[in-house]
Structure 1
């Protein structure tokens, strides 16, 4: 029995790897299909597709569909840039894109730049049997004395002919601090886990719960060695409810509620 299970698991992992490789191999053709020439113009002006940073992933919940994300570069300057995020869903059986959605300026950057873009295909069962997918965008600051890092999560639902944003820019990891670039300084890091509760709220969407763990640490040079001289951690929870047409971020996570 153990041998059969191991063999089945091996086949499943191999199948996943093959699908991932196939996705990456086909990505250039999909980009060309979506944006012939990779440099186009629309009602908002000229743009180009950043093919190197474009990503794709077979959607495990619906393996006949492939998720794609393409940065659309609107402007590039010394020290900052303006970039939209385009999301697409490709139907392998029909060999065509089902839906497309452009999120204007979602990938803009300056001193805080985009470090990573990836799909989160955990089974986000938010309403009945509807499964959403996520996009995680990670940013990093360029200041060495004041390091900064964050990852934010967006959730999307595939409707018949559209992609519907359900949750936007939820911080699931933040880290930062201030130090002398040698040792002494103070740092903090918050990591969050998003939980789907059993409580059904507005529109049939289940309430969410963000469980955060925050660690604060102070470092100092003692007898020639960099050491942690103080460390505190605490856990807290933030409820997230669906209202009108999307989930609303808790007031604690909104920097400017006005």
Structure 2
């Protein structure tokens, strides 16, 4: 194999090795920080931080006693670790963080977009994706929480902001409706509190589906609005109406 081929092969394998090393640490972290707890391996996630590859981010859902396949509650252990050694640098434990019953947690995702909330301190996100189990009465969405590193702890600055949500009803063939809301974040100017203003854009859509001449036809009505989230009293002010509960 020539030199160029070797370099290409190494570049293709590097992400695989990095991911394997990341996941290999998961059970060790649980055994050390939360001995005796059971890791929910279907939802656990970790990722090397693109903004600082020396650091690895992880979300470890810990099952509570009495959980079943249909319902239960997981605590969350969220941590930042050294990418090479696996040594934990900062962490946060959130009891009763996610609950599932008719609405399931389908996935947890680490969001490493450029959340530069204040100079010299970039946040990372945790997105929790939910989905309903009924096809006739659909329901689902995604929450976003943002965290910054403060010494050896993590500081939650955005708590379960609903960045997408949707619900609707259908007769199983066509006729029905669906309401959805999607929110995006832009980083605004630095406020007097030292944190950037979060500039929110929201789009809400009401879709009505009807059978017309043998075809299922959708009619959308959309509304858009913008608003700001400001940092106050240690975190961004996310109202109950904007939170995923």
The TM-score with structure 1 as length reference comes to 0.84
Distance 1:254 1:117, change over 3 A: closer
Please name the residue that 1:33 is paired with: 28
Please name the residue that 1:210 is paired with: 200
Unmatched 5+ residue regions in structure 2? none
Please name the residue that 2:151 is paired with: 160
Shift of 1:22: 2.5
C-alpha separation in 1, matches of 2:159 and 2:15: 26
Distance 1:187 1:209, change over 3 A: same
Please name the residue that 2:57 is paired with: 67
C-alpha separation in 2, matches of 1:241 and 1:226: 43
Aligned residues: 238
Shift of 1:91: 0.8
Please name the residue that 1:48 is paired with: 38
SS in structure 2 opposite 1:196?
strand
Task: Choose which of 219, 222, 229 in structure 2 pairs with 1:240.
Answer: 229
Shift of 1:94: 5.0
Can you list the C-alpha shifts for 1:167-222, whole angstroms capped at 9, x where unaligned? 011111111111112110111221111111114132x1111121011111101112
* Alpha-carbon contact 1:183-1:226 (below 8 Å) kept: yes
* Alpha-carbon contact 1:189-1:215 (below 8 Å) kept: yes
Distance 1:254 1:52, change over 3 A: closer
Shift of 1:65: 0.3
* Alpha-carbon contact 1:240-1:250 (below 8 Å) kept: no
Structure 1 ranges of 4+ moved more than 4 A: none
* Alpha-carbon contact 1:112-1:139 (below 8 Å) kept: yes
SS in structure 2 opposite 1:63?
coil
Please name the residue that 1:231 is paired with: 220
* Alpha-carbon contact 1:214-1:235 (below 8 Å) kept: yes
Instruction: Pick 1 or 2: higher relative contact order, CA cutoff 8 A, min separation 6.
Output: 2
* Alpha-carbon contact 2:118-2:190 (below 8 Å) kept: no
Task: Choose which of 66, 88, 104 in structure 2 pairs with 1:113.
Answer: 104
C-alpha separation in 1, matches of 2:14 and 2:72: 33
Aligned CA RMSD, in angstroms, stands at 2.5
Task: Choose which of 87, 93, 103 in structure 2 pairs with 1:96.
Answer: 87
* Alpha-carbon contact 1:140-1:150 (below 8 Å) kept: yes
SS in structure 1 opposite 2:98?
coil
* Alpha-carbon contact 2:191-2:197 (below 8 Å) kept: yes
